[in-house]
Chain A
Amino acid sequence: MTAPIIEIRDVNKKYDEGRPALADVDLEVNAGDALAVLGPSGSGKSTLLNMIAGLDRPSEGTVTVDGLRLDRQGEAALARYRRERIGMVFQFFNLLDDLTVEDNVLLPAQLAGRPRALARHRAAHLLERLGVARHARAFPGRLSGGERQRVAVARALMNRPRLLLADEPTGALDSASAAEVRELLAELNQEGQTIVLVTHDTALAASCATRTVELVDGRIARDVVRTVAE
């Protein structure tokens, strides 16, 4: 049995004096899984994703991703972790409007200091693979929502991350574009990409998640592993 790629142990997160955003969360995710984190607004989904992305730290407990204890890392190490081991996709794409599609996709490789030619080759491949190659020289503002999210996925995959994190990836898309993204994520997972996605979109969870976790008031209320037959 392989070691889990994500290990979350006894994690609590409190922002203020009020109710904790996360409470006694224990979670393991294996390589190749596609985990969908479901739950109502304020249930702690994004907080959990931020912990895994190294964007936030737990008040208590440990977060280990790909063998790296994130809660012990400094900012520089976390930045290195984000650019080398994970890719992130956001609800509102978070593409940089002043950069072309190609430059957006190249950005993680350039920040990581990857050789230029290799990076361009990889970007071209990803844009082709995701069906947005014709927009390589365009600026994101000219693309449709679905196309933008495909570009965002290409950018997230640029450094061949072991883990793809997606925060409401279909939340800002029309139904046709959402379906495209669902299909894309399912394909990626079938190719072996580990995915953790946070979503309200039950269709998305149903189409591409191999496992669903439901958070309620910061606690894991349900953890369902789906079989292929399901």
Chain B
Amino acid sequence: MSALGKVVRAGVGRRRVQTLVMVLTTTMAVAAAVLATGLLVASRAPFEHAFATQRGAHLTAWFDPGRVTAAQVTATAHLADVTTAAGPYPVRSLSPRIGANRSRMPVGGVMPEMSVVGRADTGGAVDELSLTAGHWATGSGQIVLSDGTTPLSPGDRMSFPDLPGKPVLTVVGLARSVTATADAWVSPAQLAALTTPGSRPGLQMLYRFRHAATDAEVTAGRKAIENAVPAGSLAGASSFLQAERSANRTTSTLVPFVIAFGVIGLVMSVLVIGTVVSGAVGTATRRIGILKSLGFTPAQVVRAYVAQALIPATVGTALGVVLGNLMAVPALGVAQRAYSTSSLTIAPWIDLAVSAVALAVVAATALAPALRAGRLRTVEAIALGRTPRAGRGRAVRRLLGRLPLPRALSLGLANPFARPARSATVASAVVFGTIGVTFGAGLAISVNGVQHGLDRENAGAVTVQNVAPLAGKGSRNTVDPALIAAKITAQPGTRRYFSTAQTRVGVAGLAGSTGVVAYQGDSSWGAYQMISGTWFDGPGQAVVPYGFLRATGTHVGDTVTLTAGGRRAAVRIVGEDLDTSEGGMVIRTDLSSLAGLGLTIPSELVQFRIDLKFGTDATAYAASLGKALQPPGVLVFPTGNTVSPTIIAIDALMAMFTLMLVAVAGLGVLNTVVLDTRERVHDFGVFKALGMSPRQTVAMVLTSVAGIGLVAAAAGVPVGVALHTWVVPVMGHAAGTAIPATDMAVYSLPVLAGLVLGGLVIAAAGALLPAGWAAKARTAAALRSE
């Protein structure tokens, strides 16, 4: 090995702790950067990515088997604009009931009508399915449900009492189709078994087109297919563009905070790497002098010190890339659920780019002090290494020495003034760590507050759904809502209830129809969270969400006109509610407000929300009420809250980013305190020789960062708050809602105090290890050190 190589190796090995800190810091920084960049890139086009990976269907078409043959459908795969096609698959629309289950769903309850497709496997030229739980349905009696649309889990059962033989299927898996081509899948043989004798299942065909960027292009493709098959045989078709729009709404919600965390992470990475490297070079001045006195040229010195920085940085970068990719698995897994897309992975170019940037930053940061070292005159370098630097902050030290504090503490508090640049490094690490924690904590509180607000759509402990199952030949069973109300009133344990009915009306100034939920009874206890104004409390009043206000250009206090069947009814907007359903366009009002429209709301669209008396068991109540409402036709179940996958994604990613930022900040502090402790080892020896106890030594070192930590945290918290104030509304707007003021005002005085203390904790945690080393250092050896 050359002399230069030996010097580099010795330099890396001699300062093991510093080398380790550099490896760890680079690891964390690179892992954070890989994860952040990966998420940013993935969040740019998650649907497109998944759509491409799963070869999603541009058009899903259903054909009437009575009007077209399978061969004719298959032939449509060869149309000019069709690049790939899959199918035809047999498909049936079925109305199952809930069977034995561990998902706390009432046995016998009616499930919404679902389209069941017969597919032999998850693969195919188009619409490759992603199994998210269990296994594929390959045998008789097995069914796979679409993930995210069912309350049932693998192992649960479903019955089909309307079919001959009343078959019962076991859920064996959950799968996800990027464009939701079906609600459930069974094997083709099983689908045949689910088909009534004498009837034929429909045919599903999945297409990918050469041109499908716009609605017009997809429509053109559909027209071509329609023209290729007998007239009227194309029973229906759905475009992938609808699913894309829905998925991108979730993505847009995640992007602002991922960018915020990513930027903080990258800035911290640069800061910490820079500090570590310049610290490592800066503390070796005397060694540089010795090397030069032995004949090293300035260029060799520069190369030696850049290499000493690059070796641990390279190891850290490699580890960071691995760690970043490992962390991306669950992170992108959660994001994947939020995106409703299939597997997302970190692109290899991100690993390479982040590695290259990290190493370039390390090299660039090391180069400046290394060049300085290379230029140092030999005598000066040796002298600099030996002679204590001129003391700074002596006045502050004297002043603090007069304070009525234990001397160890006042010495610690004064220390930062002796080395302002180094103190600035600690402060920067704590500032960024505190910004991350403040922003992350505020985001978590806000997001969970919003989730809590959204949960108000599930008011009451028990829900009664007047589901209308198919019975016999197309007739429907419904239960008179008045009868349901009477039964609920008579049911022991009932405290209060109201009903809702969903319908659609026209709104003056808006194209198409708009959803309306009409309430009957006192709904004030089940009111949605209000962003502004109040919940309606009489006829002619309505509350609407952000999306509606934005679409109509109206404000709280304005009056809008509802239309139906040529009739009109005016309602005054008395409040803006937190509601993202139907893109934030649902009007909520009292049923009496719609009286002028002369609407007849089908009884199957009526729901009841029931609040129970204290101590009443919701499951037992639901079972009992369900029995009282026999014959079937009504679904009674305990109300459960559904947590939005977007919220889960935000929580998980936020926690991960915050932890990483705190870890990097702590390592930044650790490195700086290690450098400082090494430089002051002789002073520690003197202190200990004079009787400073280990506890006093630890206290002195911790106090030396505590003051900075507090000041830095006090500076970082407002920035974190500002970031929260800026990012959360952007996220809300992306999700199609304003954020309630209560969910924005998350930084109460105790929370702010806790966050400032958090900065102190980051600083103290980073300094604890070197403080322990300082306390344990052998006094005699410390006194001998130069």
Chain A positions within 8 Å of B, measured between CB atoms, are 46, 50, 53, 55-56, 75-76, 79-84, 88, 90, 94, 96-100, 103, 106-108, 110-113, 116, 139, 155, 159
The 30 listed contacts between A and B (C-beta, < 8 Å) are: A55-B778, A56-B778, A56-B780, A75-B776, A76-B693, A76-B694, A79-B688, A79-B691, A79-B694, A80-B693, A83-B690, A84-B691, A90-B783, A94-B682, A94-B783, A97-B388, A97-B391, A98-B391, A98-B393, A98-B414, A100-B398, A103-B397, A103-B398, A107-B407, A107-B690, A108-B690, A111-B407, A111-B687, A113-B406, A139-B391
Residues of the A chain whose Cβ atoms lie less than 8 Å from the Cβ of B688: 55, 79, 82
Cα separation A81 to B778 with both chains bound (whole Å): 16
CB distance from B411 to the nearest CB of A (A): 9
Residues of the A chain whose Cβ atoms lie less than 8 Å from the Cβ of B783: 55, 90, 94
B779 contacts chain A at the CB level, 8 A cutoff: yes
Interface centre among A79, A110, A113, A155 (most CB of B within 10 A): A79
What are the 8 tightest A-B residue pairs by CB atom distance, in nearest-first order?
A83-B691, A110-B407, A79-B693, A98-B391, A82-B691, A55-B780, A55-B779, A94-B686
Chain B positions within 8 Å of A, measured between CB atoms, are 388, 391, 393-394, 397-398, 401, 404, 406-408, 414, 418, 682-683, 685-696, 775-776, 778-780, 783
Whether B391 lies near A82 (C-beta < 8 A) is no
Chain B residue nearest to A94 (CB atoms) is B686
CB distance from A129 to the nearest CB of B (A): 19
Chain B residue nearest to A112 (CB atoms) is B691
CB distance from A124 to the nearest CB of B (A): 15
Residues of the A chain whose Cβ atoms lie less than 8 Å from the Cβ of B775: 75
Residues of the B chain whose Cβ atoms lie less than 8 Å from the Cβ of A84: 691
Whether B401 lies near A108 (C-beta < 8 A) is no
Cα separation A99 to B688 with both chains bound (whole Å): 16
Whether B690 lies near A98 (C-beta < 8 A) is no
Chain B residue nearest to A159 (CB atoms) is B691
Cα separation A108 to B688 with both chains bound (whole Å): 10
Whether B397 lies near A98 (C-beta < 8 A) is yes
Apart from A83-B691, A139-B394: 9 A-B pairs, beta carbons within 8 A: A75-B775, A79-B688, A82-B689, A88-B690, A98-B418, A99-B401, A100-B398, A103-B397, A103-B398
Contact of A96 among B398, B686, B693 (CB under 8 A): B686
CB distance from B189 to the nearest CB of A (A): 78
Whether B683 lies near A96 (C-beta < 8 A) is yes
CB distance from B173 to the nearest CB of A (A): 62
Residues of the A chain whose Cβ atoms lie less than 8 Å from the Cβ of B683: 96
Chain A residue nearest to B695 (CB atoms) is A76
Cα separation A132 to B5 with both chains bound (whole Å): 52
Whether A111 lies near B692 (C-beta < 8 A) is yes
Residues of the B chain whose Cβ atoms lie less than 8 Å from the Cβ of A80: 691, 693
Residues of the A chain whose Cβ atoms lie less than 8 Å from the Cβ of B418: 98
Residues of the B chain whose Cβ atoms lie less than 8 Å from the Cβ of A112: 691
Whether A108 lies near B391 (C-beta < 8 A) is no
CB distance from B344 to the nearest CB of A (A): 54
CB distance from B701 to the nearest CB of A (A): 15
Whether B394 lies near A98 (C-beta < 8 A) is yes
Cα separation A113 to B408 with both chains bound (whole Å): 10
Cα separation A116 to B406 with both chains bound (whole Å): 11
Contact of A111 among B398, B408, B414 (CB under 8 A): B408
CB distance from B560 to the nearest CB of A (A): 74
Cα separation A107 to B407 with both chains bound (whole Å): 8
Residues of the A chain whose Cβ atoms lie less than 8 Å from the Cβ of B776: 75
Contact of A79 among B406, B682, B685, B696 (CB under 8 A): B696
Whether B694 lies near A75 (C-beta < 8 A) is yes
Residues of the A chain whose Cβ atoms lie less than 8 Å from the Cβ of B391: 97-98, 139
Cα separation A155 to B414 with both chains bound (whole Å): 21
Residues of the B chain whose Cβ atoms lie less than 8 Å from the Cβ of A56: 778, 780
Chain A residue nearest to B685 (CB atoms) is A94
Whether B401 lies near A79 (C-beta < 8 A) is no
Whether A55 lies near B407 (C-beta < 8 A) is no
CB distance from B50 to the nearest CB of A (A): 61
Chain B residue nearest to A99 (CB atoms) is B397
Contact of B690 among A50, A75, A111 (CB under 8 A): A111
Whether B780 lies near A108 (C-beta < 8 A) is no
With A55-B779, A79-B696, A98-B418 in contact, do A111 and B691 touch (Cβ < 8 Å)?
A: yes
Cα separation A166 to B252 with both chains bound (whole Å): 73
Residues of the B chain whose Cβ atoms lie less than 8 Å from the Cβ of A108: 690-691
CB distance from B395 to the nearest CB of A (A): 11
Cα separation A24 to B687 with both chains bound (whole Å): 31
Chain A residue nearest to B389 (CB atoms) is A97
Cα separation A175 to B689 with both chains bound (whole Å): 27
Cα separation A96 to B700 with both chains bound (whole Å): 15
Residues of the B chain whose Cβ atoms lie less than 8 Å from the Cβ of A79: 688, 691-694, 696
Cα separation A90 to B780 with both chains bound (whole Å): 11
Residues of the A chain whose Cβ atoms lie less than 8 Å from the Cβ of B690: 82-83, 88, 107-108, 111, 155
Cα separation A88 to B688 with both chains bound (whole Å): 11
Cα separation A111 to B687 with both chains bound (whole Å): 9
Residues of the A chain whose Cβ atoms lie less than 8 Å from the Cβ of B388: 97
Residues of the B chain whose Cβ atoms lie less than 8 Å from the Cβ of A53: 689
Chain B residue nearest to A74 (CB atoms) is B694
CB distance from A115 to the nearest CB of B (A): 11
Cα separation A83 to B687 with both chains bound (whole Å): 10
CB distance from B316 to the nearest CB of A (A): 34
CB distance from B385 to the nearest CB of A (A): 16
Residues of the A chain whose Cβ atoms lie less than 8 Å from the Cβ of B682: 94
